[in-house]
A and B are shown apart, each in its own frame.
Chain A
Amino acid sequence: MVIDVAVIAFAQMPNVRAETVRNEVEMLMPVIADVRAKAGLTQADIGFTCSGSTDYLSGQAFSFVSTLDGVAPWPPIQESHVEMDGAWALYEAWVKLQLGDVETALVYCYGKSAPGPLHEVLSRQLDPYHVAPLWPDAISLAALQARMLIEAGKATEADFAEVASRSRRNALTNPNAQLAWDTAAADLLAEPCLVDPLRRSDCPPITDGACAVILASGDRARALRQRPAWIRGIDHRIEPMALGLRDLTVSLSTRTAAERAGVGNAPVDVAELHAPFAPQELILRESLGLADHANVNPSGGPLAANPVMVAGLTRIGEVAQRIMDGTATRGVAHATSGPCLQQNLVAVLEGED
């Protein structure tokens, strides 16, 4: 790429099980105000705005329309919306900044998972003719994937418990986490299965949340932020949805995206992976070439808070934050969408020393 683009600010609302007082726009406004303040920008300074959300969580058509008022789009702004996780909204903004017409972008996303029956809502994503009529829920699909991982000899239930335990322990240092506790993997393993072979601790919480990022390009980023988190590579790939058409024990789309984003070009200090279910972290580590990496999901990851449509951009924000505050130099962020890791985005972020 010719134009360098960086994350210069990140903000999120504390993740909660259910936000029952504020509506979506009310929930978003403080987050957007916070991210702008961190970047030292007003909406008038922002060249492009892009958001991610889905009507199916809100239970109403055109739900993103009324949240737009929260960014103060007046005079009229250059703006777009994706029916995808906010990580892809960031991708669109990154493309826009490549064109050189604008130098700053606001990216935001929100998701209230609590208002509807989340696992049934997600089943509405599936093939509408053959699969959705069976109403398979999200946990059962993840359990199928976990079962295949075990049968292939690639992981054990104990491995899942290690991921579950470490994630919640990491979350103890994350003030925005929803689930944080310190329980040994062996104790988790002693619990009964929720959907065999998954235990409740292998599954993410149901979360309402929102987050926002400001991107800036080139010298503008340097002027606004002492240590911007430069996006050195970003790519996303998709696979067929049908579970029978792919090997669920690997993530080929993650592997391709990681290669194109340049994950393996240099050592990685930190990785934030959008693995809603514990076994998926193992699959992603393998596909990213981070199988034995020490510092994965220091925030606790989606097992500590899983706001649908938000958890992916949060991964980018968590990595960027660590680069901006100088605790990391090179990080990998990952976002996913669709059943059993169908679609994946990988970004490599770096600080300049």
Chain B
Amino acid sequence: MAEIQIPAVLEGKELVRSVRTPARMEFLYTAGVATTRFLTGISEGKILGERAPGGKVYVPSRGADPQLGVPTTEPVELPHVGTLVSFCVVNVAFYGQGMEIPYTSGLILLDGSDLPLMHLIQECPVDDVRIGMRVEAVWVEAHELAPNLESIRYFRPNGEPDVVVTQPGAGVTW
């Protein structure tokens, strides 16, 4: 390739290194039928999973049974307790987070569901968090309930003995 020559008229001028193009567009998202059911439940202090025709219970469901490609239609009210199947300890303030560091982000398999959801683990020193720990949901005050997962503030140990975790799908126990 030939070198690009700067025309004489531009010699000595400062190069334009970048242009800044702010873009703002507003989107109106559609939650969908299944998510609407879930969020309505949350705003009433309930955790509603959905039993897929294939038999598995998903929470929250986005509406599709991944085994059959058909809608999940049967709501299943789930208890507010579950098992921590894995977790990580976060030591950095990520974008937009006002959390006290370090904190634990966990994969929680609610009793009666088949796919873990991700949420915060609190009221437990990070060094004590472990796979197999039993946890329960801590909700916001009743008057603060809103149709989003932040209505569950976090999960905390509920004092039950740890359980052995079976990896979903793989049938592996460790």
Q: How far is the CB of A180 from chain B (nearest CB, A)?
A: 25
Chain B 4-36 interface residues, beta-carbon cutoff 8 Å to A: 19, 21, 23, 25-35
Cβ of B80 under 8 Å from chain A: no
A: number of interface residues (CB 8 Å): 33
Cβ of A264 under 8 Å from chain B: no
Choose one: A22, A72, A117; the contact of B68 (CB below 8 Å).
Answer: A72
Could you say which interface size class chain B belongs to?
A: 20 to 34
Contact across chains for A23 and B66 when beta carbons are under 8 A apart: no
Cβ of B62 under 8 Å from chain A: yes
Chain B's interface: helix, strand, loop or mixed, by majority? Answer: loop
Choose one: B27, B31, B62, B70; the contact of A116 (CB below 8 Å).
Answer: B27
Cβ of A100 under 8 Å from chain B: no
Q: How far is the CB of B52 from chain A (nearest CB, A)?
A: 10
Q: How far is the CB of B79 from chain A (nearest CB, A)?
A: 25
Chain A 107-133 interface residues, beta-carbon cutoff 8 Å to B: 112, 114-117, 120-121, 124, 128-129, 132-133
Q: Type the 1/0 row for B22-61, where 1 means its CB is closer than 8 Å to any CB of A.
A: 0101111111111100000000000000000000000000
In the complex, which residue of chain A has the Cβ closest to the Cβ of B64?
A69
Contact across chains for A74 and B33 when beta carbons are under 8 A apart: no
Chain A 141-176 interface residues, beta-carbon cutoff 8 Å to B: none
Q: How far is the CB of B58 from chain A (nearest CB, A)?
A: 10
Cβ of A140 under 8 Å from chain B: no
Cβ of A32 under 8 Å from chain B: yes
Q: Type the 1/0 row for B137-150, where 1 means its CB is closer than 8 Å to any CB of A.
A: 00000000000000
Cβ of A1 under 8 Å from chain B: no
Contact across chains for B69 and A66 when beta carbons are under 8 A apart: no
Cβ of B65 under 8 Å from chain A: yes
Contact across chains for B30 and A19 when beta carbons are under 8 A apart: yes
Which residues of A come within 8 Å of B, CB atoms?
Answer: 19-23, 25-26, 29, 32-33, 43, 58-60, 66, 69-74, 112, 114-117, 120-121, 124, 128-129, 132-133
List the 4 closest pairs (A to B, CB-CB), nearest first: A23-B32, A72-B69, A59-B27, A69-B64
Task: Known A-B contacts: A23-B35, A71-B69, A117-B25. Give 13 more (CB < 8 A).
Answer: A22-B33, A23-B30, A29-B64, A32-B69, A33-B69, A69-B62, A69-B64, A70-B64, A70-B69, A74-B66, A112-B30, A115-B27, A116-B28
